[in-house]
Structure 1
């Protein structure tokens, strides 16, 4: 499963010493740029596959360690082997030669023409001395589990439902219809049984774990299961109190703005955040933002002038007094 460049670090544009946070940031930036639903340029499809393949390995500390040790063909090395890498370089190094694990010698052999079959090698490894397989019998082993990130809009994560996703699969894209549970949150893993890597010798496939990432939203800010949203109100609504509508991922609801509310006041709507199938739903916080007309009419302007003349309220003095009281 070699990438275009043959080096996962080059694919993501990071140093070999990069930390997991840096790798994740690089992946998310490139995945958004080259996703086939967004980028229609020639070659973007292939680049997207390479990016996903590189991230699948480098985001997993165990896989990354084996890749760093054995190179691009690390998947061919049995997991329980902990020996040295061949001196010739990474598995299947730059000269195009194939390198096979040799259990009898405790190391690796470079194969010339007609080198050993990997299944035969593993059969010797598992059945040679320990017995249980016998000559000519093929080894069966389950496939490895895999991980992939999917990005969801807040509304889709809130409502759940069936969603078609595109994942890299060898030289092409693999499309899966996935049921998203209602109320999934950032970082949550969705298990797809039997959708991971293929098994060896007819063994069962591994599982695929989808890691949910919530896409940035122009209105909603999600923190765990709680959601915050701005609530624009007119000055008189803030001053006198009002019952005003607020849009939520679950639809429009009414919220009571108490009289005397200032910008920044948070109004809690219990249970209106992200749903929780097996627990308590999050809350939604409507944050008051007082909005004035950008171009008041002559009548509105006259009313503002009358209010300015009649009122003795000084917002700066009120703030100073409040700050003095807190100190």
Structure 2
């Protein structure tokens, strides 16, 4: 940590007025309101403000000089320091009852900024905390209630709205770091990570699924069960369906922003049995029409 006297550029014997003057000079140069977007200046101002927080308070300065607290205001182990401070009828040499009088009496714009800075430090809003929450594809479409375990061991209950997309950030107000003084707590910002699903893919509000069917189902048609993010449904396979045939399940996609739902598109894929089938082989051997059909030349 930086020595607060060195940070403000004053000697340990500086008067309260000299310390205030040094702080004011540095603050005019580094204050965030006067350097919008300058992160380096903002960080330097925090250090300067911390030093003035310590040395601008007569009691804190006295305790720092005597070794009772460190640069951050944290108590140090006590080792019985003996130091003789000068006394006078005017009280402690560091005592200055004027406080921020030189700031408060001023009517310039910068004085108003400094007054605001002092109030904000005393009652500062807590910081926002950032987390990542993985959810399944189905949960992103249908919605879910999840519990997020925090690094410190605590938990947050998170309600996942239906139709959430990957990368969306949910804000839980007041669930971040606690504020200082009367300052309110910050928020928890939770970035959603939608995990891939081997079955489904998403395009806007529509979802797609590649579904294997048997040769019998392709030739003869029939009813089959099809998975959707909200559960299996029945779907009719037309006779003579092919690999690549696309069927639509209306309203089985993701919720639309303006109301309603997208669709689920089912792409069929014909799959033969893994084990050789002698009956099927015998049929194909005697199927003259099938032998005459060349799908690579079919233009229909």
Structure 1 residues 182-218: Cα deviation after superposition (integer angstroms, max 9, x where no partner): 3322233322111123323231112222222210112
Deviation (angstroms), 1:157: 2.2
Is the Cα–Cα contact under 8 Å of residues 51 and 71 in structure 2 kept in the other structure? no
**Residue 298 of structure 1: aligned partner:** 278
Of residues 190, 197, 214 in structure 1, which corresponds to 2:170?
Answer: 190
Query: Who wins on radius of gyration, i.e. which is larger?
Result: 2
Of residues 146, 149, 154 in structure 1, which corresponds to 2:132?
Answer: 149
Deviation (angstroms), 1:254: 1.5
Deviation (angstroms), 1:246: 0.8
Secondary structure of 1:155 counterpart: helix
Of residues 259, 263, 269 in structure 1, which corresponds to 2:243?
Answer: 263
Inter-partner Cα distance in structure 2 for 1:310 and 1:132: 90
Deviation (angstroms), 1:173: 3.8
Of residues 221, 228, 246 in structure 2, which corresponds to 1:241?
Answer: 221
1:251 aligns with 2:231: yes
**Residue 100 of structure 1: aligned partner:** 47
Aligned-residue Cα RMSD (Å) equals 3.9
Inter-partner Cα distance in structure 2 for 1:91 and 1:307: 82
Of residues 280, 296, 300 in structure 2, which corresponds to 1:316?
Answer: 296
Ranges in structure 2 where 5+ consecutive residues have no aligned partner = 1-29, 53-63, 75-98, 105-110
Structure 1 residues 217-271: Cα deviation after superposition (integer angstroms, max 9, x where no partner): 1211123332111111122322333222111121111122223322122211111
Q: Could you say which structure has the higher strand fraction? A: 1
Secondary structure of 1:301 counterpart: helix
Q: Could you say if the C-alpha distance between residues 146 and 313 of structure 1 is closer, same or farther in structure 2, counting changes exceeding 3 Å?
A: same
Structure 1 residues 59-84: Cα deviation after superposition (integer angstroms, max 9, x where no partner): xxxxxxxxxxxxxxxxxx98646368
Ranges in structure 1 where 5+ consecutive residues have no aligned partner = 1-76, 93-98, 106-110, 323-327
Deviation (angstroms), 1:180: 1.7
Secondary structure of 1:315 counterpart: coil
Return the TM-score normalized by structure 1.
0.56
Q: Could you say if the C-alpha distance between residues 265 and 310 of structure 1 is closer, same or farther in structure 2, counting changes exceeding 3 Å?
A: closer
